Amino acid sequence: MNIQFIIEYLSALSMNNNREWYHANKNDFKKANAEFEELLQALMLEIGKFDSSILHNNPKDLTFKIVRDTRFSHDKSPYNPAFRAHISSKGKLPVPVGYYLMIKPGDQSFLGGGLFADMFKDATAMIRDYIVKNGEEWEKIIHDPEFEKYFTVQGTALKKVPAGYDKEHPQAEYLKFKSWYLEYPIKDEELVDSEIFSAKAAEVFRIMKPFNDYLNKALVDFQMPAR
């Protein structure tokens, strides 16, 4: 696989973010997209060594479109110059949470995990309730030395502990959150060797797994809203 071609294509798209250039270079997009899917396949095989639940996925079903919805955005550029994917036991759905990859030139790539979406109120409530009852397990995971070396829990949050929850709860700060996620930044130079990157990414995801497992236990009864 050739990650450098992905970077070069996305860099060019970023500088020529218009429909005319995109369609004139559609073959390059197809090649870059194929390289990304090949990377996902290799990455899944590495992740599968510690999480076999994701191995049934087809890389094509895990990726997100680069076409942007500009209806409600001040930025009217039609494309997001990034390749993105979410790998979980149920594919790219936000729940159950899994392993997120974004490749974007300019040292903007990252590996992610946890719940990024804060619009699912049921999911937020489930995780808050689970933290209330399983606070010690939460603390053990997020303060594990190996975890702290790589991650800090992020997420959109309220200014105050929401109504119905104890303001004095030991994990009160995390009860303010509406989403709970992790990001590990990747520099462009780390993408040069695809084998080294795949191994590194899988190791980061392995360290992330207990955090994902905790959230997925909280979300075991979550149902995606019907469209």
pLDDT per residue over 143-198, tens digit each? 999 999 999 999 999 999 999 999 999 999 999 999 999 999 999 999 999 999 99
Residue 227 domain flag: no
Whether the bond into 145 is cis, omega within 30 of 0? no
pTM exceeding the 0.85 threshold for the entire prediction:
yes
**CA 213, CA 97: separation in Å to the nearest integer?**
8
Range of the domain at 209: 3-218
Mean pLDDT confidence for 206-225: 96
Q: For the chain, give me the number of helices (H) and strands (E)?
A: 8, 4
Domain count, the chain: 1
Whole-number pLDDT of residue 116 = 94
Residue 109 domain flag: yes
Residue 108 has pLDDT above 80, yes or no: yes
**Range 84-93 contact pairs with CB under 8 angstroms and sequence separation of 24 or more:** 85/36, 85/40, 85/59, 86/62, 87/40, 87/43, 87/44, 87/47, 87/54, 87/57, 87/62, 88/53, 88/54, 89/53, 89/54, 91/57, 91/61, 91/62, 92/61, 92/62, 92/63, 92/64, 93/224
Residue 73 has pLDDT above 80, yes or no: no
Residue 226 domain flag: no
Mean pLDDT lowest among 122-126, 192-196, 206-210: 192-196
Whole-number pLDDT of residue 1 = 81
Residue 223 domain flag: no
Residue 225 domain flag: no
pLDDT per residue over 81-92, tens digit each? 999 999 999 999
Residue 224 domain flag: no
What pLDDT band is residue 214 in, cutting at 50, 70 and 90? very high
pLDDT per residue over 18-70, tens digit each? 999 999 999 999 999 999 999 999 999 999 999 999 999 999 999 999 998 87
- Strands 83-87 and 99-103, how do they pair? antiparallel
Residue 186 domain flag: yes
Q: What is the DSSP string of 139-186?
A: HHHHT-HHHHHH---B--B-SSPPTTS-TT-TTHHHHTBS-EEEEEEE
